[in-house]
Structures are given as C-alpha cells and as structure tokens.
Amino acid sequence: MHFLTLLSLPAALVLLFPAQISATPACYMVDGSVAPPSFVPCDTSAAVSACCASNQTNPDICMSSGLCYSTNGDHAGFIYANGCTDKTGESSICPHICPNQANNWEGGSAARSWNVLQCSPGAFCCRPSTNMTNCCDNSTALITATSVGALLIATATATISSSTGAAAAVMTVTATATAEPITQAVCKDNTAVVGGALGAALGAALLASLGAIAWLCLRRPKPVSPPQTVTGYPEYTQAEAKTFQHPQELEVRKPVYEVQG
C-alpha cells in the first residue's frame, strides 16, 4: 500500500488542477527586459498582449494601439510604449510606433520604454522615458501617424433595484464609454486632449447611473399617512332642561241645597 506523503502533495495538486495554477503571462519592456510587477497584460486572455502599469494605485489605461496612458503622479497625462508579453517584441500586437527590437531600433540606441509626444496634428515623436528633453525639436525622432489610438475603457454597468410591498422595480443602465482617437495635442504633451476624452467617457457613465436613480425615485410610491388616533371624547353641548308641570286635579264643589222650613 502506498501513502501520499506531504512532500508529494504539491506535485499531486499540480497534476489534478493544472488550469487553476496557470499564471498571468509575464510582461517584457520594449528592450526585452523583464517588466516590474506593476506591469500587467492589457488582455490576459490573449496569446500576446500589450503591457501597461495597471497594477498600481493610479493605474495606466490601455490604448487600442498598445500604448499606455498614465494617470500616476508626475507621469499623469503622458503616453508610453512599455512593451508586451512577447519578449522579442516582433508580434504585431506589441507597440511598434517607436524604435524597437523588431526594426533594430532604426539604427539608433535601445530604450527600455518610450514616451510618445504629439508635436502637431499627425506628427509625433518618441523619446526614452528617462529623457525629459522635448523630442519635437529632434527631426530624427519624429514619426507620422494619424492617431496613437483610443483609450480602452471598460463598459460601465449600473444595476439598481427598488422594491415595495407590492412589487419590485429593477432598472439596468449600461453606458459604453468609447474615447475618440487622439489626433490633436500640444508639443509638450496631450494631457488636455486625453483628459477631456477620459472625463467625457466617465461622465457619460455617471450621468446614466444618476438618471437611473432619479427614475426609481419617481416610481417609488408616496408614503401613506398613518390613521390619526382620537384622544378624548367628543364635546357635547348641554341643553337646558324644560320644566314639565303635572296637571293638578280641580276641586269639585258639591251644590248646596236650601232646606225648606
């Protein structure tokens, strides 16, 4: 008879539950180096996905182009190319708007990640994320593109229930927030453009939720006033009693007869 020892228990669990132990795909920076723990795939179910620093208090927002819109600290409002789950960076899913391994850095120097700035409509530039110099003045860093993508914001769904003694009213509001492609910004950065698109998208979801709450409040029946309790007795008016006189018997006088003598 064979007994399962404690040392072999983990191995047995791996064989019994292989699907539950599958880990999230690792992320790699543009140069192929391992990304910090704050970087996670934008689509964990895909074979290859772009990666953004979304595993932190102020998470990045993934973009349709594989770029990342930062909301964290001094980096808020800037767009970055941070890499993907393909270590070689050759997959078409990985961000290729800036120099990378797949194009041999376009003859330039390698970078761990890139900061993408918009210089004018249709004109962008890439600078290493550690370089604060404005790359719009560098002709070798300029790239041409109609857009750097749109923000990928999850659909906002609000389900609000209101129940009464007679029936229950349930209203579901779904607000799909889709940002417009980013095509205009100043040379320094595109905080105003992206921030406005983000605010409009989230504002639409918020207004939809508030509308649902207002709708339910109008449908709520008005409270019925409780019956008033009568305290005391009704007030009566005392009427003056009428005096009733009993009829008196009249005295009957007998006739007097004269005696003749």
pLDDT of res. 193: 42
Contacts of residue 72, defined as CB under 8 A and 6 or more positions apart, other chains included, come to 53, 56, 57, 58, 59, 60
39 φ, ψ to 5°?
-90, 125
Domain annotation covers residue 196: yes
Average of pLDDT values for 126-141? 93
Percent of the chain predicted with pLDDT > 90: 42
Domain annotation covers residue 7: no
Domain annotation covers residue 8: no
Domain annotation covers residue 190: yes
Domain annotation covers residue 226: no
Paired sense of beta strands 123-128 and 142-144, if any: antiparallel
Average of pLDDT values for 26-33? 97
pLDDT averaged over the chain?
71
Domain annotation covers residue 51: yes
Contacts of residue 88, defined as CB under 8 A and 6 or more positions apart, other chains included, come to 32, 101, 102
**C-beta separation of 97 from 124 below 8 A:** yes
15 pLDDT tier (thresholds 50, 70, 90): very low
Length of the chain: 261
| Domain membership of residue 83 as a residue range | 18-219
Burial of 105 (0-12, 13-18, 19+ CB in 10 A): middle
Average of pLDDT values for 72-88? 95
| Position 221 pLDDT exceeds 70 | no
| Position 169 pLDDT exceeds 50 | no
Lookup: tokens for 57: 């208090």
Domain annotation covers residue 207: yes
**C-beta separation of 126 from 98 below 8 A:** yes
Residue 149 φ/ψ region, left for φ over 0, alpha for ψ in the -120 to 50 degree band, beta for the rest: left
pLDDT of res. 149: 86
pLDDT tens digit string along 42-69?
Answer: 999 999 999 999 999 999 999 999 999 9
Average of pLDDT values for 111-120? 94
Residue 118 pairs in a beta bridge with 124
Domain annotation covers residue 233: no
Q: Of 25-29, 129-133, 144-148, which gets the smallest average pLDDT?
A: 144-148
**C-beta separation of 124 from 116 below 8 A:** yes
SS3 letters for the chain? Answer: CCCCCHHHHHHHHHHHCCCCCCCCCCCECCCCCECCCCCEECCCCCCCCEEECCCCCCCCEEECCCCEECCCHHHCCCEEECCECCCCCCCCCCCCCCCCCCCHHHHCCCCCCEEEEEEECCEEEEEECCCCCCHHHCHHHEEECCCCCCECCCCEEEEEEEECCCCEEEEEEEECCCCCCCCCCCCCCCHHHHHHHHHHHHHHHHHHHHHHHHHHHHHCCCCCCCCCCCCCCCCCCCCCCCCCCCCCCCCCCCCCCCCCC
Structural domains counted in the chain: 1
